[in-house]
């Protein structure tokens, strides 16, 4: 088995029982070809799948309090699927650490998306056993934060900009106005920040990988502020009135 120190550094967790991590990286094909009993990663994958779903479901529930069950389910499906899990496994270079049977090795198993996705979930299961739910939660949120931040780009989270405009127009004819407040990061990885204003009052700010995504995130932040996380309408903040001009009296 390859030295796992570098992988543990990437995971942000030093295993008390490194055998757990070794098992998480052992494909069932090893057991199929062995003459004796060999532990493999299917049980840890089962646990990791449940832990991943729990952590991301709770995060979505907390982060988007105005969304109903349908959009939340769609958002979770965008996060938890074989393609995404395989991508995360590749970022960790899990393929280089896998222990495969000879047949699976010969068939290119180290790059097979299903094997990588299963190993990623098994690693989460190993983190859960070795460090508890908090260790697994910290790892999951650290890996998925960029994807969580980009969720507002899609219509699967409803239409925050349209929803905000509808809410504001119920109390005023003035539409919301979006302002680009900042751009950071290198050319190939820009991060945009936008604010949404109404009647001169800033209602929310958001960030995204594009100006459109940042505006959508700002609208979502404004909705959360205006509705207080309850999903019910509330009064739109009004700009402070100028004091009456008494110079004519």
Q: How many angstroms from the chain centroid is the CA of residue 176?
A: 28
At which of 151, 169, 188 does a domain end? 151
* C-alpha span between 235 and 247 (Å, rounded): 33
Catalytic option among 49, 88, 104, 215: 49
Say if residue 102 is in the same domain as residue 168.
no
> Which is catalytic among the residues 45, 104, 118, 121?
121
| Entry pTM | 0.63
Q: Would residue 121 show up in a list of annotated catalytic residues for this protein? A: yes
Let me know if 174 is a catalytic residue: no
pLDDT in tens, the chain (249 residues): 568 999 999 999 999 999 999 999 999 999 888 878 889 999 999 999 999 999 999 999 998 877 777 778 878 888 898 889 999 999 999 999 999 999 888 998 899 999 999 999 999 999 999 999 999 999 999 999 988 877 754 444 567 888 888 888 877 889 999 999 999 998 888 899 999 999 999 999 999 889 988 898 898 888 878 865 433 334 445 544 444 444 443
Q: At what angle do helices 69-79 and 42-63 cross, to 10 degrees?
A: 140
Q: By the 8 A CB rule, do 72 and 154 touch? A: no
* CATH number of 53's domain: 1.10.1520.10
Indicate whether 207 and 133 sit together in one domain.
Answer: no
Q: Is residue 244 part of a domain?
A: no
| Domain total in the chain | 2
Sorted by sequence, the CB contacts under 8 Å of residue 18 that are 6+ apart come out as: 4, 8
What is the dihedral angle through the alpha carbons of 19, 22, 27, 28, rounded to the nearest 10 degrees?
A: -10
133, part of any domain: yes
Evaluate whether residue 241 is within a structural domain.
Answer: no
Domain span at 146 = 5-151
CATH code for position 179: 3.30.160.20
Statement to judge: residues 91 and 173 lie in one domain: no
């Amino acid at each position: 088995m390859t030295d796992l120190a570098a992988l543990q550094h990437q995971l942000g967790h030093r295993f008390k029982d490194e055998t757990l991590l070794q098992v998480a990286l052992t494909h069932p094909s090893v057991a199929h070809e062995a003459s004796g009993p060999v532990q493999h990663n299917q049980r840890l994958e089962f646990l990791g799948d449940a832990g991943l779903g729990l952590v991301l479901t709770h995060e979505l529930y907390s982060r988007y309090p105005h969304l109903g069950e349908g959009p939340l389910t769609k958002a979770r499906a965008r996060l938890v699927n074989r393609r995404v899990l395989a991508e995360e496994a590749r970022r960790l270079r899990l393929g280089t650490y896998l222990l495969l049977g000879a047949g699976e090795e010969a068939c290119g198993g180290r790059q097979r998306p299903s094997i990588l996705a299963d190993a990623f979930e098994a690693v989460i299961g190993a983190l859960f056993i070795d460090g508890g739910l908090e260790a697994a939660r910290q790892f999951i949120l650290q890996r998925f934060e960029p994807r969580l931040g980009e969720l507002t780009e899609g219509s699967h989270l409803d239409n925050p900009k349209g929803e905000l405009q509808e809410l504001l127009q119920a109390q005023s004819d003035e539409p919301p106005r979006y302002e680009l407040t900042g751009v950071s990061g290198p050319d190939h990885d820009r991060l945009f920040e936008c604010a949404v204003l109404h009647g001169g009052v800033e209602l929310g700010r958001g960030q995204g990988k594009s100006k459109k995504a940042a505006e959508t995130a700002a609208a979502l932040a404004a909705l959360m502020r205006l509705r207080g996380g309850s999903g019910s309408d509330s009064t739109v903040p009004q700009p402070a009135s100028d004091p009456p001009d008494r110079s004519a009296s």
